Amino acid sequence: EGGHVRVSSRARPELCERTHLNLGQLMMEAARNFKGTGGGHAGAASFTGEGSLLEIRGWLVNRLFEHLVPKS
């Protein structure tokens, strides 16, 4: 159920530039939400926190979706 989860992330530089995606900021936000630590830079970052894999994965997917999908 709940435990320690570690997430590593990478993105192509072109994607980060075109969409202003910063995985380091995303992982720091995840760390605040899931009682952990995280960071990195725009194209590569990681985070370790507390919670279930499903909960953390869902949160990250939602945040990425909010950032990457244009609002209509």
Position 33 scores a pLDDT of: 97
Given the structure tokens 């919670």, which residue do they identify? 51
Task: Measure the CA–CA gap between 49 and 52, rounded to whole angstroms.
Answer: 9
Q: Residue-wise pLDDT tens for the chain (72 aa)?
A: 679 999 999 999 999 999 999 999 999 999 999 999 999 999 999 999 999 999 999 999 999 999 999 877
Q: Looking at residue 17, what is its pLDDT?
A: 96
The count of domains in the chain is 1
Q: What is the pLDDT of residue 68?
A: 92
Rounded CA-CA distance 34/56 in Å is 8
In 1-72, at which residue ranges do the beta strands (DSSP E only) sit? Answer: 3-10, 37-41, 44-51
Buried b (16+ CB within 10 A) or exposed e, 47-59: bbbebeeeebeeb
| Global pTM value | 0.90
Q: 12: domain range? A: 3-68
